[in-house]
Amino acid sequence: MSRSLDNSSRHSIELQSASTARLDSFSNKGSQPTQHLVSTDSTSPSTAHAESASNATDTIKKESSVSSQPLPETTEAPRKPPEYLYGLRLVLVMGAANIAIILITLNDSMIATAIPRITDEFNSVKDIGWYGSGYFITNCVFLPLASRLYTFYKTRYVFLSFLAVFEIGSLICATSQNSAMFIGGRVIAGVGAAGIFTGTYSIIGASVSQQRRPLLGGITMALSSTGLVAGPLVGGAITDRTTWRWCFYMNVPCGVAVMALMLVLHMPNSAMAVRPPFKQVLIKLDLFGFLLFSGSCAMLLLAVQMAGTSYSWSSPTIVCLFWGSGGAAIAWLAWSHFRGKDTLIPLAVFKNRILSFSCLAGFMQWGGLLLVSYWLPVWFQVVQGSSPLSSGLKTLPTACTQAISGLVGGWLVSKLGYYIPFVFFGSMCTAIGAGLMSTFSPNTPQGKWIGYQILTGTGRGLVLQMPLTAVQTSLPLQLIPVGTGLVSFAQYFGAALIVGLGETVFSNILPRALAAKAPSVEAEGLLRGGATNLRGVVPPNLLPGVLSAYSDAIDKVFYLAAGAGAASFVAGWGMGFNSVKKVRQQRQQQE
């Protein structure tokens, strides 16, 4: 892209034409290995720099015969020339962004060990699914919109705005007086987390050159994994020593510190050098498409969450929600087809088999991961009578093996070159591990619940990163940001939907299990009460039967996690058998 504003119009047309032809070429080639230079960079969709624009322009001159359609003109404004950071400035900017990333990943997992105490205070076992899915659904549906906002507005102010939303949501959770207020806070925090996640990768893309982005992206991923691993232990310690509310209060001072750093530090922008008029920005944000898309997702989640618990599956409310979700989805597809390249999510990318199956694998794996992460501490605290801190310590076998196998898996892929064997082996381990967890009972010995966690954690670490690796290896350069964004969306949507399904399974199975093992105990009373209050409200002579029924209901939730792992194994067959080493060698040769 030219540095001269006089030539901005010409370069803008070239860039948009390049992107259009890449989409045409991409959809025509499907899952065939690309011959274009690709990157292992996981930069967010909002980060498109001058160097990639130049590559796209050069590539399109060579590939002008691929698409028979004329290239459309565009009025999109040019981006600023890159102004990369070095030394202390880079360390401070990335440090501030990564503190925010650690905050949101801690919130992803820290709540798991706090949930039983939250249900005790609000008498809300029936709402456990909402505590996770409410957060993840807004997180995933706002990811595409957040990416577009970073395209048009300064990175500093967009990032700070989303961080402020996250802090407001955390404060609402910390001060909530009932379960509905707590869920509302989680929903708001999820919106902020979407912008923080996307913004961090936008900052990486704007701060360093193409060659250095994989390193900083890897550091960010390592820190986020640390947050996920440490979350249950930190949450258990805070809940046990003080109150679960401090799991959310702690976000406020940390967030204020990040805001202060962001305000005083100079930050490069991924936004356009000349922003279009506000009316044109609104058009390009595709807010109508966002409303259709988010509405479809929200209605589907509501239907899954409430069916069999608040309403029967055949009730008019649930039927209308399912029909409404399907209708909104069809309307969004039609709208996106009409909008073409300016839609919220380009439909052309779904024609690529590798991307579609990578999204499916990510959907299943993250859903299974969060399902076990939320319900395993409940099993420890309710069935075994563990404290929050003790339950956090008891989940360390999963967390530690996941972290270790993740590092080993990434190293092996870089050495061997192929990611697909780890998709198969990791999915198989998670499916078998979750299946073995479904055999838990009040008398399950320590060796078994440790061993089953080691198997599950090993599988998770190996497979979780592979959908992104497949996308980064197989897609053309200009579509890598779109692909990584879609995989991230699929992961969070899988977490939201499958965690919601888990709550539905538990609420439907518990009454049946109680009828068989403790018929004199009312299931509705347990669902409306707190998870760890059982020993205080159930008579001692009935407690063994109630604990056994509770364990049986959680076991059926683990069935769902095992099924998600098996589905991920099947999805692996569509993720391609491409070599990371060959792609890296191609890149080095072209450089």
pLDDT tens string 23-61: 444 444 433 433 333 333 434 434 433 333 334 334 333
Residue 229 counted as domain residue: no
CA dihedral 514, 518, 520, 526 (to 10 degrees): -50
Q: Residue for token digits 């009312």?
A: 522
Average pLDDT across the chain, whole number: 77
DSSP result, 511-560: HHHHHHH-TTS-HHHHHHS-GGGHHHHS-TTTHHHHHHHHHHHHHHHHHH
414-423 in b/e form (b: 16+ CB < 10 A) is eeebbbbbbb
- In the structure encoding, which two tokens stand for residue 149, read together? 């906002």
What parts of the chain have a pLDDT lower than 50?
1-79
The answer to whether residue 13 is domain-embedded is: yes
User: Structural domain of residue 25, as residue ranges?
Assistant: 9-79
Q: How far is CA 21 from the centre of its chain?
A: 30
397 vs 199: CA distance, rounded Å:
32
User: Taking a C-beta distance cutoff of 8 angstroms, is the pair 268, 85 a contact?
Assistant: yes
Domain end: 41, 57, 79, which one? 79
Q: How far apart are CA 44 and CA 445, in angstroms?
A: 45
Is 589 a member of any domain?
no
Any domain includes 158: no
Classified as helix, coil or strand, 302 is helix
DSSP code for 344: S
**Cα distances (Å, whole numbers) of residue 357 to 139, 350, 351, 581, 586:** 21, 10, 11, 21, 25
Last residue of a domain, one of 79, 94, 122: 79
Instruction: Output the pLDDT for position 6.
Output: 40
Specify if 17 maps to a domain: yes
Whether 49 is covered by a domain: the verdict is: yes
What is each CA distance from 10 to 52, 60, 63, 394, 410, in whole angstroms?
16, 15, 19, 61, 42
Handedness of CA 438, 454, 137, 117 (dihedral sign): positive
Per-position DSSP letters for 124-176, written without gaps between them: -GGGHHHHHHHHHHHHHHHHHHHHHHHHHS-HHHHHHHHHHHHHHHHHHHHH-
Q: Phi, psi (5° rounding) for residue 307?
A: -65, 130
Q: Which two tokens stand for residue 536?
A: 């205080």
Question: For 558, what's the count of Cα atoms within 13 Å in the CB-facing half-sphere?
Answer: 27
Contacts of 440 (CB under 8 A, 6+ apart): 379, 383, 449, 551, 554, 555, 558
Give the dihedral sign, CA 554/300/30/40: negative
Of 343, 367, 390, which residue constitutes the final position of a domain? 343
Q: Which amino acid is at 520?
A: S
pLDDT tens column, 494-519: 888 888 888 888 888 988 988 888 88
In a domain, 37, yes or no: yes
Q: Dihedral of the CA atoms 136, 140, 143, 146 (nearest 10)?
A: -50
Residue that the structure tokens 């659904």 belong to: 137
Q: Output the pTM of the full model.
A: 0.72
Backbone angles phi, psi at 463, to 5 degrees: -100, -25
Contact between 293 and 344 (Cβ < 8 Å) = yes
Residue 334 lies in a domain: yes
Q: List, in sequence order, every residue forming a beta bridge with 49; answer none if it has no partner.
A: none
Q: Do 496 and 137 touch, CB atoms closer than 8 A?
A: yes
Nearest alpha-carbon partner for 24 in 65, 76, 75: 65
Residue 342 pLDDT? 74
Give 24's contacts (C-beta < 8 A, 6+ positions apart).
66, 67, 69, 348
By residue count, the chain amounts to 591
Angle between helices 128-152 and 287-306 (to 10 degrees): 170
CA distances in angstroms from 117 to 111, 180, 503, 530, 549, listed in the order given: 10, 16, 17, 7, 20
**Three-class SS of 424-443:** HHHHHHHHHHHHHHCCCCCC
Burial of 335 (0-12, 13-18, 19+ CB in 10 A): middle
Number of structural domains (the chain) is 2
Tell me the C-alpha to C-alpha distance, in Å, between residue 118 and each of 107, 174, 233, 531, 556: 14, 11, 16, 9, 23
How many Å apart are CA 100 and CA 109, to the nearest integer?
Answer: 15
